[in-house]
């Protein structure tokens, strides 16, 4: 091959890659069609070290985790989780949740120390107000929520009012009026599918999501039946928290509704009291969610 042939061929190769690069840049993208997937660190993970938990979730394809910081032991482990997660660019703590149990005058105010630890780390603070107690009403909660939000706001921490069964706010429709009353761009609420099922909303989740989407800061889900079994506390939990792909509730339609409403946060997977091996069910659940989303996108 002479010089002229060589440079002619090189020019064609360069032109090919230039055209390929232009085509790639013009490919349509839809960032709202897939969300970061997180997991609570329940369901057998509590027996693992912090490093083992993070490693398992990363290897299983998850983008982050959700931490319970409601006991002294949880609080003591928070710095270890932060240090471990800081080692990776592809994994994060998405949220840390606390309980404000009205009668617990010691632990209920520890939210402040949690905020200090997660400040400016893009970690949401989720707040559960506990069971109703005489003397603690909407006025008290509004003032306390404003205090929490004001403190968190200046430290770069988004606050989520967490609806939870058997507490003051059991569903997002109960929590949202308080969020709107406080009226802060830093304060949102969450839809936890299994708690909505327990509140009797399994047949109307499209309506629930439409109602809450304007202030929806977090979504979590699990495989679940459409109706909770309240014959015992254990039955309530096991009927509403299953591995992804199990249960009678149509999870694909739920995800499709989130997609249609342009939800742009992350999606958390609940695994409370799941007895299967986390090394098996965690990757299987993630793969099932990916399959659901692929199917949803294919129908667009």
State pLDDT tens for residues 86-142: 999 999 999 999 999 999 988 999 999 999 999 999 999 999 999 999 999 999 999
pLDDT value at position 300? 75
**E strands, the chain, where?**
37-40, 64-68, 92-100, 124-129, 159-161, 187-192, 216-221, 267-269
Cα angle 282, 283, 288 (rounded to 5 degrees) comes to: 100
- What does 187-199 look like in DSSP terms, one character per residue? EEEEEEHHHHHHT
Residue 228 lies in a domain: yes
Tell me if residue 41 falls in helix, strand or coil: coil
Residue 28 lies in a domain: no
Which token pair is 218?
């977090």
CA 221 from centroid of its chain's CA atoms: 8
pLDDT value at position 207? 98
**Structure pTM?**
0.88
Residue 127 lies in a domain: yes
Could you give the C-alpha distances from 2 to 5, 6, 8, 16, 149, in angstroms and in order? Answer: 5, 6, 10, 21, 73
Residues 238-259: tens digit of each pLDDT? 999 999 999 999 999 999 999 9
Residue 42 lies in a domain: yes
The average confidence (pLDDT) of the chain is 91
Q: Residue 152 is part of which domain span?
A: 33-298
Query: Is 153 within 8 Å of 186 (Cβ atoms)?
Result: yes
Rounded CA-CA distance 46/39 in Å is 13
Which token pair is 239?
């009927």
The region, left, alpha or beta by phi > 0 then psi within -120 to 50, assigned to residue 75 is alpha
Q: Is 25's pLDDT higher than 50? A: no
CATH of residue 234's domain is: 3.20.20.150
Residue 144 lies in a domain: yes
Query: Which band of pLDDT confidence, cut at 50, 70 and 90, is reported for residue 233?
Result: very high
Q: How many domains does the chain contain in total?
A: 1
Residue 25 lies in a domain: no
Rounded CA-CA distance 126/97 in Å is 4
Residue 4 lies in a domain: no
Rounded CA-CA distance 46/267 in Å is 21
Residue 13 lies in a domain: no
């Amino acid at each position: 091959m002479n010089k002229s042939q060589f440079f002619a061929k090189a020019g064609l190769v360069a032109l090919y890659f230039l055209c390929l690069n232009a085509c790639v840049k013009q490919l349509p993208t839809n960032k709202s069609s897939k969300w970061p997937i997180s997991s609570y660190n329940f369901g057998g993970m509590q027996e693992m070290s912090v490093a083992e938990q993070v490693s398992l979730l990363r290897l299983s394809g998850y983008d982050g985790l959700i931490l319970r910081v409601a006991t002294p032991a949880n609080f003591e482990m928070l710095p270890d989780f932060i240090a471990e997660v800081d080692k990776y660019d592809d994994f994060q703590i998405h949220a840390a949740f606390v309980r404000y149990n009205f009668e617990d005058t010691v632990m209920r105010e520890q939210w402040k120390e949690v905020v200090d630890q997660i400040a400016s780390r893009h970690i949401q603070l989720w707040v559960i107000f506990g069971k109703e107690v005489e003397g603690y009403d909407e006025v008290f909660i509004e003032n306390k929520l404003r205090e929490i939000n004001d403190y968190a706001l200046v430290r770069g921490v988004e606050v989520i009012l967490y609806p939870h069964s058997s507490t003051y706010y059991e569903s997002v429709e109960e929590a949202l009026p308080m969020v709107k009353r406080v009226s802060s761009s830093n304060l949102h609420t969450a839809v936890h599918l299994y708690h909505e099922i327990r509140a009797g909303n399994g047949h109307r989740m499209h309506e629930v999501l439409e109602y809450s989407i304007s202030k929806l800061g977090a979504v979590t889900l699990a495989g679940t039946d459409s109706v909770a079994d309240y014959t015992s506390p254990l039955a309530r939990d096991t009927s509403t928290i299953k591995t992804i792909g199990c249960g009678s509730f149509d999870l694909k339609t739920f995800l499709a509704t989130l997609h249609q409403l342009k939800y742009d946060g992350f999606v958390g997977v609940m695994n409370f009291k799941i007895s299967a091996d986390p090394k098996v069910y965690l990757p299987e659940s993630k793969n099932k969610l990916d399959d659901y989303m692929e199917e949803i996108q294919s129908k667009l």
